[in-house]
Amino acid sequence: MKVLSIVFCMLFLSCSNQTKKPNQTDPKTQNLCRYSQYLRILKKGKGYHIEILHPDKQQENYQLQIDQAAGHIAALSATQIGMLSALHEEKRVAAVTDIRYVFSPKVKGRFRQNLVFELKNESNISIDVLMRAKTDYLIYSAFEGAFASEKQLKKIGITCIPDYDWREATALGRAEWILLFGVLCDRLPEALKLFKTIEQSYLKTVRTPQQHDALNMISGNVTGDFWYTPAGESFLAEIYKRAGLSYVYASTKGTGSLAYSIEKILKDGSGVQLWLNPGFPTKQAILNANPKAKYLTFFKTGKIFCYTHNPNKFWELSTLRPDWLVEDLSQIAHGKITNKLHFYQEVE
């Protein structure tokens, strides 16, 4: 679990992209997505035409017409389960990769009732299990390209859909993928309403860091030989700014992760008061993984907050609810936790 936490933390950082303005809806195409760079949803006939643009290969764009609700969906990532749960459509979840990393109480309950199947290894999924689960759609994150068994699955009536929410440029672009699940579940009005609530909540919280009261913070931890932390043009850096935090590397260029030596972190972190996302729930666990942490000033005298007391909840819901992330971090930034935090807890 400790190794998995680090991998998840790295994934969260590496998926950061440049912040951009929302797409403007073209009245001729009536694209329902305004923030997403890679998802397009257009009304067509009795249903909806889905276009999913490949982030790197324009010739591999995916297109699909959906005219009726899916019966059963194999959701291979936590964010997909979170979006289906937010629409109260847990009953459509037919299969998951590993039940140990599922947060949704309803999905876990259905697993205990043998209504949800476990696939274990995404790279070597049992077609027999998918058939027993009566799967209509399999949604995968395409970290390693096209799904290996896609052509074989298509022959038996299982449609594979790539999910690129992790490549989106903005937090709202990531959250907007809930509209895809709204179409799949015939719950698009509910998905649009929920996204509007998230959008309004996220955009209304803007606390510009002020030099006289901003809390200096750093993020990430050591993995291998380097300390990985979000670059200054990433969506995470934008979230930190929106929450009123003074991020040490806010002025750096880049949209992904920065990789620094521990020596540079020791130097740059001398005035840091808050450490976010070390990837572990206790200080002792941090030291076990990174013994040099004892030399960090902010480890000894600063505050440390992370989501690792309940990582399944974080990975299942944080993509959909960037407004909750900002709300948590805003409270932490100002040292006044008046409402219960959604994802974070102090590391002691």
Could you give the maximum distance between any two Cα atoms of the chain, in Å?
Answer: 63
In the chain, count H helices and then E strands: 14, 16
Which pLDDT score, from 0 to 100, does residue 147 have? 76
**Distance (Å, whole) CA 312 – CA 343:** 10
121-130, 267-276, 328-337, 339-348 — which is least confidently predicted?
A: 121-130
Which pLDDT score, from 0 to 100, does residue 29 have? 62
pLDDT in tens, 22-37: 554 444 568 999 999 9
Measure CA 105 to chain center: 19
Classify residue 221 by burial, with Cβ atoms within 10 Å: 0-12, 13-18, 19+. buried
pTM of the shown model: 0.86
Which pLDDT score, from 0 to 100, does residue 209 have? 56
Domains in the chain, CATH or no CATH each:
39-203 (3.40.50.1980), 206-346 (3.40.50.1980)
149-170 core/surface letters (b: 16 or more CB in 10 A; e: else): beeebeeeebebbbbbbbbbbb
Q: State yes or no: pLDDT of 7 exceeds 80.
A: no
Taking residues 160-171, report their average pLDDT: 90
Which pLDDT score, from 0 to 100, does residue 16 have? 41
What percentage of the chain reaches a pLDDT higher than 90?
A: 71
| Residue closest to 67 by CA, chosen among 89, 90, 50 | 50
| DSSP 8-state class, residue 169 | S
pLDDT in tens, 172-210: 999 999 999 999 999 999 999 999 999 999 998 776 655
**Distance (Å, whole) CA 331 – CA 88:** 29
**Which residues partner with 346 through β-bridges?**
305
143-147, 151-155, 340-344 — which is least confidently predicted?
A: 143-147
| Residue closest to 122 by CA, chosen among 156, 98, 155, 92 | 98
**Distance (Å, whole) CA 79 – CA 320:** 7
Which pLDDT score, from 0 to 100, does residue 336 have? 80
**Distance (Å, whole) CA 118 – CA 80:** 15
pLDDT in tens, 10-24: 444 444 444 444 554
Q: State yes or no: pLDDT of 154 exceeds 80.
A: yes
**Distance (Å, whole) CA 103 – CA 314:** 9
